[in-house]
Chains A and B, each alone.
Chain A
Amino acid sequence: MTPAAIVEQPTPRATVPRVAARAGLRPWVLVGASTVVAIVLALPLVFLLIEAYGSGLTTVWHLIFRSLTATLLWNTVQLTAVVTVLCAVIGIAAAWFVERTDLPGRRLWGALLVIPLAIPDFVVSFGWASLSTSVAGFRGAVLVMTLAVYPLIYLPVAASFRNADPGQEEAARSLGVGRLKTFWRITLGQARGAILGGCLLVALIMLSEYGAFEILGYQTFTTEIFTEFNIAFNVQAAAALSLVLVALSLLVLTGETAARGRVRVSRAGPLSQRRIPPHRLGHLTVPVLAGFTVFVGLTLGVPIGASVYWMLEGGRALLSGVSLLSALWHTAAYSAPAAVLATVMALPVALLAIRYPGRAHQVLERSTYLVLAMPSLIAFAFSYFSERYVNGFGYQTAPMLVLAYAILFFPLALVAVRASVAQAPVSLEEVARSLGRRQLIVFCRVTLPLLAPGLAAAFCLVFLSAVTELTATLILIPTGVQTLSTQFWAYETNLSYAQAAPFALVIIAIAAVPSYILGRFFDGLPSRAVVAT
């Protein structure tokens, strides 16, 4: 069915949010599955507590309460706050222009705006740092991280804008509410969950980023923890420091939960799924296009340009390493299953959190976000757990790396799936069930297709993140194997920029594929929603 045909459908009734609304699956299935997921996700945290406990309270106390901690806290907190706000402003503005206006080439912009997510933060960092030595410290970190992670807000907000019920905006406008107020109250209100979810991800990633800050010479808690791991021969001490980081992320989580409130965004039934009339940019088209061009130049042009520059610059090929093809193959073979796994894990948690809202379920869902704050710990926890308790089972094997990725990026999958679940009308499933369909069939035939965009977005997000992951990969990668990012790192840290550059470019190039799929899935949403009925 074409979008035009959909637009002509009669206006349906709105779905009223109901707490007791039934999902395609029984709640105990969801609760069970979610609990398993939560337990898997909590493993690193449990490890952390055991290690911190094992190092003794006095040690923990001394490590936490020293002069360095204050500096690190201030550095970490101010950077997290500034970057999160900047990313929110940029992400919302970009999403609005792409999804809600007649901006020329919006699908192309949509793809270009997502790609920075696939450029590793340390490549962005390296790109800028190699341009100018003045990109360093706090200001350097703000610049680099904003440009690197804003897609985490752009993506969910764009999906939300795209799928939002246009009727509410129209109603507001017809009731005489001004444009700005409509945008503020309705448009942003509808996207509130997506915005907060994105901000949460950005804040947690700021807490956990390592490589980029090392290059920029900006000390945060995570860089210090990593140094501790690498230098101090003392895992317990690093685990103790990680406690502070976990406490910080708990603060962020609590803040986000409070801001989110209990509002559930809903929209009219799927039959109202129609193209939202775009705002006309008119004479603003050229300045906005110019703005987009400059912005994409900064986000993509600089890291890609720096890589191309170093490649052309040449220099002697001093190091031997694995071939691009071998690295590419291993990168894909680890990242894709991780993306599937994370998406599958996110599904029950998202369904439970949205369809059966309750305090316990909410806590369960929220707690899964903690993993984002401790990426390196997850890797170390896996190694340690394997060696200490299961006699080295799975140690330095591919499945362990895949599982670590899935845990590490689970929150990304959750944000995407959640946004979709929140907007999928329960009524469709109820109709199907009232027609005598069995639960599993309803789940497969109705629920899943309705969530397809979210699932696809989740897959792509996790895949992109796994492709660009470095720190956990360095620790868990099977011996004798290199991924694109580890081989890049090996060259980059040895100043073999000319050899590192092709690996950076290939990472960026394969990122275009999931971005394209991401765009396609969102474009295919209306017809899918209708077919599902």
Chain B
Amino acid sequence: MLLAVAVALPALVLAASGGAAPAGGGSITLYNGQHEQTTDSLVTGFEKATGITVNVRSDDEDTLADEIVLEGSHSPADVIYTENSPALEYLQEKGLLAPVDGSTLAQTPSKYNSPQDDWVGISARVSVLIYNPSLITKSELPTHVLQLADPRYKGKLAFAAGETDFQPIVTSVARTYGQAAALKWLEGIKSNAGSHVYPDNETIADEVNRGAAAFGVVNQYYWYRMEAELGSGHIHSKITYFAPRDPGYVLGISGAAVLKSSRNQAAAQKFLAFMVSRQGQEIIAHSISFEYPIADGVKTAAPEAPFDELEPNGITIPELGDGSAAIALLRKAGLL
């Protein structure tokens, strides 16, 4: 029996080794660092509109960025789509991105695009506090980001050191208060979080919702998605914002880029164009992404605070940088 298996299986592997076969319209490979909820519907819409097949490889945005750096000139990826701007800035600094078509860039406000025109902003997200009202009241919550390190939140705070969504907040705090203060603040957070250190924001949202921890900092869409998935009957948490323009109140930009090494430049540019087109932005506005579309005139259909009523601080994309300073701080604080 074993022998038969040994003989038959290499054939099986060969048969199984291929990914999706390219359809008539050609195909591109997308390295997807975005949440699959957001990507799925965009890819489906694009495939329908153009006949171009999209092979999706999903992973953490930083992991994918690293893979691309490693793969260099023979990267299988044509497009990278990330949750936050630092991963794209990192690739931009390495000179791995191709310029984005001007017509694509024109669709979204330039402050949300690559300063070097190497990637385009697709959607926006904003940091919020998620809390469990049975464990902490709204008035007891911090309104100021530095208060996260206040000892009175010991054992109440949930934290995900490895979550890339948190890095922009670290960068913002360091920029406002300096490296030393930011480090002290992170050490306080570490002490407050204690054993409530989780791998990602999904887990923070889930654990707070179930009452394992009182509150944490996530992006707004995690809560809306959780509500969509679990049904409102299973939601025992709420979200609220930091004080207007607080350094913790950060607007992040999710974006996409075409790789310089792509052998399917035209199709890849088409995908970017689709994502910021009216149709693509409407998909984000109406899907379970719950992120904010950023093209002019498209508004989220989700029951969340309207985009133009948000009051985030003014940190810019160049100021958010490639995230390396935030990582260095997290590491110094013993969180990474």
> Could you tell me the distance in whole angstroms from the C-beta of B68 to the nearest C-beta in chain A?
10
B203-A215 in contact (CB<8A): yes
Q: Pick from B55, B207, B324: contact of A479, CB below 8 A.
A: B55
Chain B residues within an 8 Å CB radius of A229:
63, 66
Q: A493 is contacted by which of B67, B196, B200 (Cβ under 8 Å)?
A: B200
Is B13 in contact with A402, judged by CB distance below 8 angstroms? Answer: yes
Extra contacts, 20 of them, besides A133-B212, A321-B36, A398-B13 (Cβ < 8 A), are A133-B210, A133-B211, A217-B195, A217-B197, A217-B198, A228-B336, A231-B327, A235-B66, A315-B229, A333-B16, A336-B9, A344-B6, A387-B74, A388-B70, A402-B13, A478-B18, A478-B19, A490-B36, A494-B202, A494-B225
Contact with A along B201-222 (1 / 0, CB 8 A): 0110111001110000000000
* A480/B56 contact (C-beta < 8 A), A217-B196, A320-B40 known: yes
- The minimal Cβ–Cβ distance linking A226 to chain B, given in whole angstroms, is 8
Nearest-CB residue, chain B, relative to A331: B16
B162 within 8 A of A: yes
B-binding residues in A (CB < 8 A): 66-68, 133, 136-137, 214-215, 217, 219, 223-224, 227-233, 235, 315-316, 318-321, 329-330, 332-334, 336-337, 340, 343-344, 383-384, 387-388, 391-392, 395-399, 402, 455-456, 459, 474-475, 478-481, 490, 493-498
Residues of B within 8 A of A (CB): 2, 5-6, 9-10, 12-20, 29, 35-37, 40, 44, 55-60, 62-63, 65-67, 70-72, 74, 76, 90, 161-162, 164, 195-200, 202-203, 205-207, 210-212, 225-226, 228-231, 288, 323-324, 327, 330-331, 334, 336
Q: Which residues of B contact A133 (CB under 8 A)?
A: 207, 210-212
* Nearest-Cβ distance from residue A114 to partner chain B, whole angstroms: 18
A337 touches B66 (CB 8 A): no
* Complex CA distance for A330 and B16, rounded to whole angstroms: 6
Q: Which residues of A contact B207 (CB under 8 A)?
A: 133
With both chains docked as a complex, state the minimum distance between the C-beta of A416 and any C-beta of chain B, in angstroms.
13
Q: Which of A337, A397, A479 contacts B57 (CB 8 A)?
A: A479
Q: In the complex, A344→B6 CA distance in Å?
A: 10
Contact of B226 among A228, A387, A455, A495 (CB under 8 A): A495
- A395 x B71 contact (CB < 8 A): yes
B12 touches A336 (CB 8 A): yes
Cα-based distance from A67 to B62 in the complex (angstroms): 25
CB distance from A111 to the nearest CB of B (A): 18
Question: B211, A495: Cβ atoms under 8 Å?
Answer: no
In the complex, chain B residues whose CB is within 8 Å of the CB of A233:
62, 65-66, 90, 323-324, 327
Shortest distance between the CB of A519 and any CB in chain B (Å): 14
User: Nearest Cβ distance between residue A447 and chain B, in whole angstroms?
Assistant: 14
Q: Which residues of A contact B70 (CB under 8 A)?
A: 235, 383-384, 387-388
CA distance A68 to B60 in the complex (A): 24
Closest Cβ of chain A to B237, distance in Å, is: 13
How many Å lie between the Cα of A396 and that of B75 in the bound state? Answer: 11
A334 close to B71 (CB less than 8 A): no
> What residues of A have a CB within 8 angstroms of the CB of B6 in the complex?
340, 344
Question: In the bound complex, what is the Cα–Cα distance between A319 and B229 (angstroms)?
Answer: 10
B19 touches A337 (CB 8 A): no
Given A387-B72, A495-B229, A479 and B19 touching (CB < 8 A)?
Answer: yes
When distances are taken between beta carbons in the complex, the residues of chain B under 8 Å from A232 are: 327, 331, 336
